[in-house]
Amino acid sequence: MQRSSRFVAFATSNEHKSREAERVLSEFGISLERLPGKGTEIQADDLSSIALFAAKEASRRYLKPVIVEDAGLFIDELNGFPGPYSSYIYRTLGLEKFLQLLTSLRSRSAVFRSSVSYCAPNVEPLVFEGVSKGSIGSRASGTYGFGFDPVFKPEGYESTFAEMTLEQKNRLSHRGDSLRKFARWFLQNE
Ligand code: ITT
C-alpha cells in the first residue's frame, strides 16, 4: 500500500461517516480533516448531482480541496425508494415503521449507494461512485454503525452492517467502495 502524508478535508455533519472515511483513507496514507457540514443539499434524484453541487460550494467556502459524500439506500422493488431521500425517511419513520412499510414486498433486495465528490477551488469537481448490494432483514439487529445499518445485510452475509466492525463494514460498504476509488485517483493525480 502507498504511504504519504497527504491530507484531505471531509465536509460532513455525520460523525460515523467521518470515522469510516478516516479508516479507509488511512490505508492509502491519506489523513482526514473533518469540516462541520456539507452545506447546501440540493433536491435531486441522483446522489452524484447532490454531492457535486455540495463539493463545489464547500471548496469555495473553505478555500481548500474538500470531499463530500451523499449516500442512500435503494430498494429494488420500490424502484429505488428511498434513495436520495434516505435521511428524511430515516428521521421521519425510524427503523420499526420503515420495516412495517416493507412487509408486502416479494423481494427485499436493496443496494446502498455512495457518491463521493472531490473539489479543489476553481477546479471542476469529480465524483466517485460506490455500491453495496444486499437485502433488508425482517428485523433490526446489531448496535454498530448508524442509520439503516441494523437492517441491511450485504450480499453473501447473514449479519447486518450493524453487527460488523467498522473494518468489516468498510470492506463491504458503498462508502468503502467510493472512497477507495477516490483514494486511488487522488494519489495518482494530486
Ligand atoms: P452529511 O450529508 O452531512 O454527510 P447525512 O447523514 O445527512 O450526512 P446523507 O445526506 O448522505 O448523510 O444521508 C444519507 C442517509 O442514508 C443517512 O442519514 C442514513 O440514514 C442513510 N445511510 C447512508 N449511508 C449509510 C450507511 O453506511 N449505513 C446506514 N445508513 C446509511
Q: How far is the CA of 70 from the centre of ligand 1 (A)?
A: 7
- Whether 3 shows a pLDDT value over 70: the answer reads no
Nearest protein Cα to ligand 1, atom 24 = 71
Counting the structural domains of the chain, the total is 1
Residue 1 has pLDDT above 80, yes or no: no
User: For the segment 53-79, what is each residue's pLDDT rounded down to a tens digit?
Assistant: 999 999 999 999 999 999 999 999 999
Q: Which residues line ligand 1 (CB under 6 A)?
A: 12-14, 17, 37-38, 69-73, 86-87, 90, 112, 145-149, 161, 173, 175
Q: Ligand 1 mean position to 114 CA, how many Å?
A: 9
Considering the domain boundaries, does residue 128 fall inside one? yes
155 vs 37 pLDDT, higher one? 155
At 176-185, the pLDDT tens digits run 999 999 999 9
Q: What is the pLDDT of residue 38?
A: 85
Domain presence at residue 23: yes
Residue 119 has a pLDDT of 97
Does residue 46 sit within a domain? yes
| Average pLDDT score over residue span 121-127 | 92
pLDDT digits (tens, 9 = 90+) for 137-155: 999 999 999 999 999 999 9
Average of per-residue pLDDT values in the chain: 95
Which has the minimum average pLDDT: 4-8, 26-30, 70-74?
4-8
Domain that holds residue 164: 6-189
Q: Is residue 1 part of a domain?
A: no
Query: HEC states along the chain?
Result: CCCCCEEEEEECCCHHHHHHHHHHHHCCCEEEEEECCCCCCCCCCCHHHHHHHHHHHHHHHHCCCEEEEEEEEEEHHHCCCEECCHHHHHHHHHHHHHHHHCCCCCCCEEEEEEEEEEECCCCCCEEEEEEEEEEECCCCCCCCCCCCHHHEEECCCCCCHHHCCHHHHHHHCHHHHHHHHHHHHHHHHC
Residue 87 lies in a domain: yes
Q: Which CATH number fits the domain that encloses residue 80?
A: 3.90.950.10
